[in-house]
Every structure is written in C-alpha cells, then in structure tokens.
Structure 1
Amino acid sequence: MNASRSEILHRVAYLAGSVALIASQNLVAWFARQTYADERARDLEFWLTPLSSTLELWGLPAIWGAVIFAYCLLVAWLLALLSFKLTQRTNRGFVLAVLSVVPVVQLVAIALNAILPSKDALGEEGRATRHASKSVALGLLAGVALIVFAVLISAVTFGAYGWGLFVMTPFLVGITTGYLVNSESDFGSSRTMKLAIASAGLGSLALVVLALEGIVCILLAAPLAVPIVMLGAALGRGLAIARHNRRNPLASVAVLPMIFMLEAAIPPEAPIATRYEIEISAAPDMVWQALTSPEPIEVAPGLPALAGLAYPMSGKLEGVGVGAKRIGAFSTGTATEVVTEWKRDRILAFSVEDQPPAMEEMSPYRRVHAPHVQGYFLTGETRFELMPIGSNRTLLRVSSEHKLRIDPVPYWEPIARLAIRQNVGRVLEDIKEKSERTRHSLALARRDP
C-alpha cells in the first residue's frame, strides 16, 4: 500500500510540475506582450507556442529575445528530466518521454505518461531494458535539440542555407543519435538507423511547431537529409561499440556555428539561365496582344500551387517602350519590373526591381521564421522574342536569368529549374490559348456578313 501511495505521489508531482512548467511559458509570453505589444490578442499561437510567437513582437529588445530563447531551452530540459525520471520508475519506454518536450502534443504525452500503469521489470533483463530505454530517449532528444539548434543558428541568426545546415547537421544528428542509443548495448544497424531517422523526424516536427520552418521546405530537404542521417547513425553506432563508455565523441558539434558563420560570410550565388519556346497558330501581333494583356492567367498553376511556390497570376504594363513599368501579380505578392527592351510584335524584355517571396510556407501559423522565402532565389531579366515562322504562325521564345543562393547547389538547382519550367510553361500555354482564341474569333467575324 505504501509503495502504491508513493508511486501515486510521484505521478501527481510529475503531472503538476510539468503543467506548471508549460504554463510558465504562457506567463512569460503574457508579460512580454503586456509590456511591448500594441495588441493583446490571445490567439492559437499564444496558447500552443507562446514563447516563439512572442519573438514576433515589434519593439521587443534583443535581450528579451535571448532570455525567452534561453527560458524555452530550460523548460524543455526540465520537462525531459522529469519525464525520463518517471519513465525509469514505470519502465514505460522512451516515446512519451521524448514527446513531452514537443509543443502541441506535449500535454497529451505528459498526461499519458502520468496515468498509464507501470510495466514490470524482471531482474537484470528489466534493468537492461530500462537503461536501454533511457539511452534511446536521450539519443532521440539530442537529435531533436541539435536540429532546432542548427536552424536557429544557421537560418534564423546568420541567414545561411548551405552545406552546414543540409549536410553537416543531419550527419551529426545521425552520429549523435547512433552513439547515444548504443551507449549501453548494441541495438543493431537497422534499429539504429530507424531511430536516427525518427530523431530527425521529431526534430523536423519541432521546427514546424516552433514556427521555424514550413512543411514544404522540410519535405524538399528530406531526400537529401535521410541518407546522410543513416550514414551518420552507422558511424555513431561504430563509435559506441568501439569505445563502449560514456565519453562523448561528439565534439565536432562545436564546429557547426563556425561553418554557419563562414557560409553567411561567403554565400553561394549560382546563376541559372533558362530558355523555353512554343509554337503558336497565330500572327505575331496577336501573340503580342496576349503577351501584354493585363488579363489574369487562366491556365491552372499545378505543382507550384500545391507546393506553396510563387506562381504568376497576371501582368500589367504601365506605359509603353523602354523604361515602362510592369507590375507582376504573383501568388505570394507583387513584383515590380522595368522594361529594358521594346520592339512591338517582336521583343519584350524586362528586369525585376523588386520581387515577392519565392514561396509561402505550409504551416499552422500566420508567420514562419524562415528567411529562405525572401532573397535566396532571385529573378534577373526575362526576355520574350516573337518570331514569324509562316503564315499566321509564331515561335514564342522566353529566356530568363536567375540566381540561386542555397547550397548544395547540385541538389537544389534541379528543383529550382523544375519550378521555373512549370511557371514558364504555364505562361506560354496561356499566351498560346489567348492568341489562338483571338485568331479564331477574328476568323469567325470575317465569315459573318
């Protein structure tokens, strides 16, 4: 009876302490908003991710931002500590302990961790299982923390998207998880890799929940990151088996900030030149009319719309000739362009002075702290050429210049080219349909008396 009462007291204390820690974040956020926010809105972001949403406040001093971030890490560490200790007492495994530090789902995980009955542990086998569960939980949590840390430092702080974030970070996540989960006993190659991928997945989920990244960017990076995580996990397991002690072989994590700083100082800038063309059954003057028309693009946007990428909706010329303004309406905002070459029915070229975000991240929040949506994919000059190729036939050719500022370029460039091809192909198809529709209408008008 005494043992049962003691266990109940531990569970109640765990539940009360965890809820108090989570509620304290809302208290800190409430105080910051009362002091620095013009509006006192208590929206969904405030209740689910109070500290990260508070960092959006205008006029919030930098020292407050540092304090809030540090407090967020402290709360996560204390929640993990409480959850791991209860997990050890109840032999419940590691999944709920890890989920207890993931915002949004943490309340459910904490409640389940507190009310689910204990599992019996028998002798040495039970103690080994308990220690293994703790090692796995620590490995998963370390991987999650490393991903969040890397994005905060590389992307949010330095604005660097390169080899350090997309290659070095997943490699170190794999090493960290692989080493820690095998620190007590060998879990095997397959299980280690699965746990490392799970750690990366939980870290990605944490990025979405903390409004540091959107779903689309994570999905795009996954094919590159997953094999690297698996490679790192194999190396981490090998280190754990060779050393088989608690010494930390992961000092290389300390070089990440230096890599991020170097990449921020020397950002990549890969030029991308494209050229596409389409044959249109209409005279050049009809094609020119469709090209310069302010009417909305009627062809469905397709893949770019599904992925949240920016796609053109319409274009309006303000004036004629070189120097005229062109206002391009995109799904993510408005582009300001200047005409650099104008030969009626033959050539229209313009350069982009100001462009909207390259994408709109898929996220449950109004705003995502992901700098890559602005300034990391730039469009320079776009040039349309209309070439007569026969009676009432025109070859419409469009060439454009872009700059990609994200590494590794060999991985991201094909994705960028695919998006360009989808958008340009849609524009060309729309011009073709409008031009041929005009020709057909004029032909019908001539037949009627």
Structure 2
Amino acid sequence: MIYPLRLWFGVREPVGQAAYAVSGFGLAIFKYVVEAALIWIMVGHVFLPHDFLNPVLSMRTQLLVGSPPWVGWFLFAWSLPFLWIAISMSVRRAADAHLSPWFGLTVILPLVNLVWMVVMCFVPHSKLAEWKPTREAENQTGQAKDAVIALAASLIAGGSMLAISAYGLASYGGSLFIGTPLLMGMLAAFLFNQRQPRGYWPSIGIGLAAVCCGALAMLLFALEGLICIAMALPILAPLGLLGGLLGKMIADTTRRPVRELMCVVLILPGLAWIESRLAPSPEFEVRSAVEIDAPPDVVWRHVIEFPELPPPTEWYFRAGIACPQRARIVGEGVGAVRHCEFTTGAFVEPITVWEPGRRLAFDVVEQPEPMFELTPYRHVHPPHLEGALRSNRGEFRLIELPNGRTRLEGSTWYQIDMLPQSYWTLWSNDLIHRIHLRVLEHVKRHAELDHTPLATE
C-alpha cells in the first residue's frame, strides 16, 4: 500500500507505462463509481460514463439540480487529489519517456488529455529517462534574490495572460483559471530552484505566493474586486501549491532548458483564443421551493407582485451581491412586463405563461450587474460583470397541497461563460438559490398573513 501512495502523491517515483495505465484507468473508474453512487443517492439521477467524460462537466452540474449545496462542494474537494495525481504522474511519465516533463501539462487540456493519456500508456521507458534526484542539498545562499526574480517572472506571465484573455479576448476559460495559476507556481518554483536547490516548503510557498501576489496585484491595480478574488482563490491556491512542488522537482531531477517552459507559457494565449471561439455554454437551472400555509389563489397574488422586502441581514448581500428588493408588474396576462428590482438594478421580464394559481413564466430581456465589487477604489468594472453570467428565463410554479396549502417553486435558467463551469456554478447556483429563498420566503410571509383572517372566520 505504501508504494501506490508514494507513486500517486509523491514526486520522486518515476512513472512507467504500466504504473501510468493501471493508476490512470483504475482511479478513473473508482472516481466515477463514487460520484455516480453519490448522485444517485442524493438526487436519483443516473450518472453515465459519457457524462463523467464531459470536458466541461456541465452535465454533472445539471444532474445536481435539487441536491443540497454541500454535494457540489464535496465533489470539488474530492476532485482535487485526483487532479494532483493526474498532473504529477503525467509530468513524470513524460520524463520517463525522455520527453520534456512540461509536456505532461497536456493532461489539463479538455479532450486532448484523453488522447495524451492513452498514447502515454504505450510510449516505452527510455534509457535516457531523467526523473532522478541529481541536485545537491539545500543551500540558502542568494535565496531572497532568487525568490524576487522568480516571483517577478511569474507575475509578468500571469499579468500578460490576464490582459490577453480577460481584457483582450473577454474570455474567462480554463487556460486562465487552471493553466495560468499552475504555470505561475511552476515557473516561480523552477526559477527559484534552478541555480541551486531549495527546500520543499520554500518552493511550495513560492508557488502559492506567486498566485497570492497576482491576486493582490489585481486588487491594487483595480483590475478585480475582493469578492471575485475570494471566489477564485479556492481553485487558484491549490494549483499554485501544486505548481510550486512540480516546478521544484523538474528543476531538481532534470536538466531541461528554460525555453521549454517559456514555450508552454506562450501556448496559453492560443488556448485562450480557442476557448473564446467555443460554442456558448449550456443552460443551467436552479430550483428552490417553500411550502406555504395558504391556497394557490392567495399565493398567486403575491407572486406576480410583491411589496418592498426588508433590508438584507445576510453578509453576502450586504457585501455587494445583487439582492432583490421589490417586484411590480405592468399589465396582465401574457405580454405583461414584470420588473424585479435588485440593489444593482432591475430585471425586465416579459410574461410568457400566465396561468393564475398555477404557473407564471417569463423571459429576461434586461438584467443588471450581478454584484457591486468590494474595492478600495471608487470604480472597478472587470469584463466578467457584463455578460459572463446571463439569466435567460424564470418561472414560478404553484402546486396545491392538502389542507389548503401550496408548494411554491421558483426556477431560474441561466448561462455562465466561465470555465471550469463545474467550479463556477457552485458559486452561481448557491447565490441564485439564496436569492430565490429571499423572494419565496417573502411571498410566504405575505400570503400567510393575507390568508390568516380567512382561516379564523
């Protein structure tokens, strides 16, 4: 048992064909079985193998509709060790075949990674394989100078990628949120250890520092706000740590030139361009519900239009996340226009289905920004605030229950153009669900107060 753990979670063991094939396919099957069982238990949906291999993981997110929020976060945390194993073993497998270990990063590319993993199961071990510790013991001489140079290089690479992807292409893809922090950590640790070897913890720390300094620079130069940075750190920080460890090991165990790393860094803008040309993202649904002690006809009156909501007490709404305030409707029936006003502006929603006491559906033709950013500056407006998260339509369903009660369900269908969607929908689904509950609970209170005199007569 010790050898598999050392192979999967260590960095010194070389990875041959058999170890790569058995570990890769075996762990993939194990991961699939656990996730399929969890999804079946929690929501009763069948998680098919082709859903598991979906490169953007959108189907997995859609299958979680109706599950508790912790399920999505558990699957995210559960996936991190497998991400480490895949990248670490692919880097070592490339070195074992006497290829550049940087080629191992191919495993993070959707679709291409599947071809890469199959091919590397057949590429034989090379007698010239380089994954062997050849460096001397740690030396502290010049450590501060090397750290500054390493961090500066990683910040230049990360800043350039941000400028090209987010501001040039208006693309927030996997190349930005996965490839960039990973390479920033690897670049920093590789340069930090290239002249002479450093310790593991300083190398891991500089990989994390590269990502954190990049996040701080975005805040200080008014490129991002605190809310979005805080949302991104749970995925950026682990990749920076991973990059730091791999960068050290590549520097310690191989003699690859820096230009190979530079070639990998230069590939990122090309990947960002490809991602910016991909088809629009799939549509996701968020569904929430409450049960109300009032009949559907009473609930209906408070669905189509409701008075001012009380000021929010939740910290995330007070921090700047768009918060519903009131709703009004102009007209009646299909073609009427509902205006749902938030702290950031108003949603304009033409009615498409009008079934009193049963169903109200609408499209969204105008929408405000999803948040006001927390920032030390007067105005911060990153490109993703316009159009990256788009609400397409919504619906209220009123289901009559026994004893004059009603189940009120609210749904929002939206798209999000940020990758990996399996991560960003964890945030968007949870926040939309909380917005739903604020509205539904408000309707519930007013409908039950409206119905109380009838119930006591």
Given the two structures, how large is their TM-score scaled by the length of structure 1? 0.67
Which of these residues, 177, 180, 184, is aligned with residue 173 of structure 1? 184
CA contact (8 A) 2:185 2:206 kept: no
| SS of structure 2 residue aligned to 1:285 | helix
CA contact (8 A) 2:210 2:240 kept: no
* Offset, 1:443: 5.1
Rg comparison, structure with higher value: 1
| SS of structure 1 residue aligned to 2:283 | strand
**Residue 390 of structure 2 aligns to which amino acid in structure 1?**
L
Which of these residues, 195, 201, 204, is aligned with residue 184 of structure 1? 195
* Offset, 1:155: 0.7
* Offset, 1:442: 5.0
Distance change (3 Å), C-alpha of 1:285 and 1:238:
same
Rounded to whole Å, the distance in 2 between the matches of 1:309 and 1:159 is 22
Q: Paired residue for 1:381?
A: 393
CA contact (8 A) 2:174 2:419 kept: yes
CA contact (8 A) 2:207 2:242 kept: no
Distance change (3 Å), C-alpha of 1:306 and 1:138:
farther
Q: Paired residue for 2:173?
A: 162
CA contact (8 A) 1:212 1:368 kept: yes
**Residue 416 of structure 2 aligns to which amino acid in structure 1?**
L
* Offset, 1:301: 6.0
Which of these residues, 249, 252, 255, is aligned with residue 267 of structure 2? 255
| SS of structure 2 residue aligned to 1:362 | coil
Q: Paired residue for 2:345?
A: 333
Q: Paired residue for 1:290?
A: 302
Rounded to whole Å, the distance in 1 between the matches of 2:345 and 2:391 is 14
Q: Paired residue for 2:440?
A: 428
User: What is the Cα-based RMSD across aligned positions, in Å?
Assistant: 2.1
Aligned length: 318
In the TM superposition, what whole-angstrom CA distance separates every residue of 1:15-41 from its partner, at most 9, and x where no partner exists? xxxxxxxxxxxxxxxxxxxxxxxxxxx
Q: Paired residue for 1:201?
A: 212
Which of these residues, 133, 148, 157, is aligned with residue 146 of structure 1? 157
Gaps spanning 5+ residues in structure 1: where? 1-127
In the alignment, structure 1 residue 364 sits paired with structure 2 residue 357: no
CA contact (8 A) 1:388 1:395 kept: yes
| SS of structure 1 residue aligned to 2:445 | helix
Which of these residues, 224, 242, 249, is aligned with residue 235 of structure 2? 224
**Residue 412 of structure 1 aligns to which amino acid in structure 2?**
W
CA contact (8 A) 1:296 1:313 kept: yes
CA contact (8 A) 1:196 1:229 kept: yes
Distance change (3 Å), C-alpha of 1:152 and 1:441:
farther
Which of these residues, 422, 438, 449, is aligned with residue 450 of structure 2? 438
| SS of structure 1 residue aligned to 2:297 | helix
* Offset, 1:204: 0.7
Matches within 5 A, 1:292-371: 292-298=304-310, 300=312, 302=314, 304-306=316-318, 308-371=320-383
**Residue 201 of structure 2 aligns to which amino acid in structure 1?**
S
In the TM superposition, what whole-angstrom CA distance separates every residue of 1:408-439 from its partner, at most 9, and x where no partner exists? 01111222211121111111111111111112
Distance change (3 Å), C-alpha of 1:219 and 1:360:
same
Q: Paired residue for 2:289?
A: 277
Rounded to whole Å, the distance in 2 between the matches of 1:394 and 1:247 is 66
* Offset, 1:182: 1.1
Rounded to whole Å, the distance in 2 between the matches of 1:319 and 1:200 is 52
**Residue 211 of structure 1 aligns to which amino acid in structure 2?**
A
In the TM superposition, what whole-angstrom CA distance separates every residue of 1:151-186 from its partner, at most 9, and x where no partner exists? 111111111111100000011101110011112221
CA contact (8 A) 2:205 2:244 kept: no
Rounded to whole Å, the distance in 1 between the matches of 2:432 and 2:405 is 25
In the alignment, structure 1 residue 239 sits paired with structure 2 residue 221: no
Distance change (3 Å), C-alpha of 1:317 and 1:301:
farther
CA contact (8 A) 2:390 2:416 kept: yes
In the TM superposition, what whole-angstrom CA distance separates every residue of 1:329-358 from its partner, at most 9, and x where no partner exists? 112111111000112222211110011112
CA contact (8 A) 1:299 1:426 kept: no
| SS of structure 1 residue aligned to 2:269 | helix
CA contact (8 A) 2:212 2:237 kept: no
Q: Between the two proteins, what is the percent identity of the paired residues?
A: 31
**Residue 193 of structure 2 aligns to which amino acid in structure 1?**
N
CA contact (8 A) 1:183 1:245 kept: no
Gaps spanning 5+ residues in structure 2: where? 1-138
Q: Paired residue for 2:278?
A: 266
Distance change (3 Å), C-alpha of 1:244 and 1:134:
farther
CA contact (8 A) 2:140 2:198 kept: no
In the TM superposition, what whole-angstrom CA distance separates every residue of 1:311-331 from its partner, at most 9, and x where no partner exists? 221111011111011111112
Distance change (3 Å), C-alpha of 1:410 and 1:268:
farther
Distance change (3 Å), C-alpha of 1:295 and 1:255:
same
Rounded to whole Å, the distance in 2 between the matches of 1:250 and 1:307 is 40
* Offset, 1:137: 0.7
CA contact (8 A) 1:326 1:337 kept: yes
CA contact (8 A) 2:312 2:318 kept: no
* Offset, 1:277: 2.1
Given the two structures, how large is their TM-score scaled by the length of structure 2? 0.66
**Residue 172 of structure 1 aligns to which amino acid in structure 2?**
L
Rounded to whole Å, the distance in 1 between the matches of 2:255 and 2:355 is 74
